[in-house]
Structure 1
């Protein structure tokens, strides 16, 4: 969706310590624990290439994270865990991390700094006698990222342990609605995050960025569209341009097993009046994207969502808005012999109609879903996918 609404709020992605983050009209507390530390004593040090570290989402060859909610996970046998973040880490990026399956904790990290994340005082430390614990960490800000430089362990054997990935996998492709623009904690407040973790035992990746079109053209600050960019390691952010210019590296799809489910929500930006994408241009770009996805992952079920475009007044009530309503259905029909394969059947492309899932108050003043709106979409999608 267009970023012309940024004047209405200050979003986490570009916020600084001096800026307020507004939630329900009030400044939200953003004073997270300071985990920065200086290492002393006896520590074991592990490089980012350690095979025990499992990366989630897209990371480049320099161990720099991209797109929305990328993360990492590893097991450890130690009392203390710290991570050093390299020079390409965004200043003050907010990360969510947790011990085992405990509640998520938040902290701001920055370039060339070391952060003590786990210690015996960490909540939940004494709730199990298992010698192997896990640390999971995700970037919350869609426009920012981290570079992992080292993992440090102390106490006990002080060794990393490989935690097997879950067998079920999901992929999300989209724009701001999937990346988490204007959601409380951006990437980790989205329907995609809620769906991935709501299913449980699921690996997932969110290849989404605000303002991007499916049509390969300049669009609300993005130089390329998803029909091109989805297959790249990096997103369309300024930091990606600064590092890679107009030659972003291809993503190595062999690094991860193929997803069982691919969920796509794209086209709201193409439908903006200032972009002026025709129905034919949109249709052709969307068909191209799905063809690429199917060629890459031939066994993945592809779910295409109808667009959410907020609400408008109609006399004395609010009316839900959509965009490219029939064009998206035509895209699905293209792959299903002229039929709209809503669920089941022999096709591999499925149409998910989002109409009626959210109400007017499920959209924020920034014209994007609230956290509750994201929960509603995730819940309905979960029921839809569970029937496959």
Structure 2
């Protein structure tokens, strides 16, 4: 069974256990049961969770607990065996995707305290005639609302882990449920943000996104803090983060990041724009500016992309219209950061103090506006106001081209699967 988090609109709702649904119909799945009994009998060679050969992707805290969207771990290995023991802060039943090198994703539900045998001689990618060397193991958490804790990593008795150097370019997404993949088939691994990060190829990506969150620092759909505050912390605003860290979450250690983002894409405001959260335009603009100032302070060389909001569609006469939100405000924010007023005396924000700090060094223009109007049509939005899987792919495809044209980034991915189970075709020529 797959754990699925359901919500109303962009709301973080109660978490229930269920299957993958397609338009109300159960989608057949065949997730292998990878948990093994008596792992000591396998004679593994075992590494601790802080082994230097392990590269943690996305945000993990110092206890090696994952948060936010699509966090993962990558490492090289020799031999034909990989197993992982998951710690006590794992949410039981969390669905993970994993693969060897460039093979397709395999999914399995992991268990608290369980050891899961993920790679065997029969795993696709093992024993190939022309292997990628070293073999690369990648694991990603599929659900934004759950998480795992890495306790141990195991390989064959005579084998070893191998450090995989990070890619040379990095992108980060800061967002809410639209970036986290809420209501999509494989959630985080079906989101447009993941699609861009993975679809670029040879690119590190962070998806610092959580459903229901505002950019404004206030309660929104059960999230106690907004991204203008929470982005500076390892953990998200989930119930399990509060369970683990209480009222004193662990600050995110920007200095220890493997790579610093070259591009930061921000898609925030859908929740601020909802009348239920009572956020004024002034509060929204102030928080959004502070967030960009925070990004500029932590990543002084990063380019920032502000995404135009999409708020679904409405029927207008005998056609449809697209709802937008904070359109003028977002355009004004972009203009402000590219103005002489800001660039001559840039201000940064650290997420904790009540005032910004002015830098002595002038900046070059670094904020861009990505217009989303016209990319999606009304049937690209599901009943719960979030993109369908196809809708997410459309947004990702347009954003990939925007990044290529604006920043000159080549599209390096040339074959490995990005979105799982989207292979549809017709092979009948007479019907």
- TM-score higher than 0.5 here? yes
Q: CA deviation at 1:31?
A: 4.0
Which residue matches 2:176? Answer: 175
Within 5 A, what are the aligned runs for 1:285-364?
Answer: 285-337=287-339, 346-364=364-382
Which residue matches 2:387? Answer: 369
Within 5 A, what are the aligned runs for 1:28-67?
Answer: 28-38=27-37, 39=39, 40-67=41-68
Tell me whether 1:4 sits opposite 2:8 in the alignment: yes
Q: CA deviation at 1:6?
A: 8.2
Q: Which runs of 4+ in 1 moved over 4 A?
A: none
Which residue matches 1:342? Answer: none
- CA distance in 2 between counterparts of 1:102 and 1:15 reads 31
Of 136, 147, 150, the residue aligned with 2:149 is: 147
Which residue matches 1:217? Answer: 218
Given the superposition, is the C-alpha separation of residues 6 and 337 from structure 1 closer, same or farther in structure 2, using an over 3 Å criterion? closer
Does the Cα contact within 8 Å between 2:308 and 2:370 map onto a contact in 1? yes
Which residue matches 2:25? Answer: 26
Q: CA RMSD in A?
A: 2.0
Tell me whether 1:198 sits opposite 2:216 in the alignment: no
- CA distance in 2 between counterparts of 1:267 and 1:323 reads 8
* Gap regions ≥5 residues in structure 1: 340-344
Which residue matches 2:403? Answer: 385
Q: CA deviation at 1:104?
A: 0.5
Which residue matches 2:285? Answer: 283
Q: Deviations over 1:70-97 (max 9, x none)?
A: 0000001122111000010001000000
- CA distance in 1 between counterparts of 2:118 and 2:255 reads 31
- CA distance in 2 between counterparts of 1:130 and 1:248 reads 40
- CA distance in 1 between counterparts of 2:187 and 2:301 reads 30
Does the Cα contact within 8 Å between 2:80 and 2:126 map onto a contact in 1? no
Q: CA deviation at 1:184?
A: 0.6
Q: Secondary structure in 2 aligned to 1:69?
A: coil
Number of corresponding residues: 376
Q: Deviations over 1:291-325 (max 9, x none)?
A: 01001101000000010101111122111111111
Q: CA deviation at 1:132?
A: 2.9
TM-score (norm 1): 0.93
Q: Secondary structure in 2 aligned to 1:82?
A: strand
- CA distance in 2 between counterparts of 1:72 and 1:91 reads 19
Q: CA deviation at 1:246?
A: 2.0
